[in-house]
A = this chain, B = another copy of it.
Amino acid sequence: MEFLVRMESLWPADGDAARLNEHLEHDSARVSELAESGVVSRLWRIPGNRANWGLWSASDASELHAALSSLQLFPYLEIEVVTLGTYPLDPGLKTR
């Protein structure tokens, strides 16, 4: 299954910069792993916001939650999940 996921960072503007960097390094590496294993396939910047939209894949909602909550910044993220089904006209169906 595929999911569109919007995540916005609520890390306080005056928060500890060193700790934030540690989290970002960890999560950057974690996203790479998730990309390797096909869980995260796309990530886009939402202009003007500390936020992104992403295209995630998981066998079900529990597996998606496990992936999302493996990020160190997870407690600071406001996350919206859009569950997707297959659409007959999807150009992506041919190439998969």
**Chain A contact residues, CB within 8 Å of chain B:** 1-5, 7, 10, 13, 28, 31-32, 35, 40-50, 52-53, 55, 60-62, 64-65, 68, 75-77, 79-87, 89-92
Contacts and interface: CB of A to CB of B under 8 A. Distances in A.
Chain A binding surface SS class: mixed
Nearest to A82: B53
Query: How many copies of this chain does the complex contain?
Result: 10
Contact of A79 (B48, B68, B83, B86): B48
Given A48-B65, A48-B79, A43 B89 contact: yes
Contact of A44 (B40, B48, B86): B86
Contact of A87 (B3, B44, B92): B44
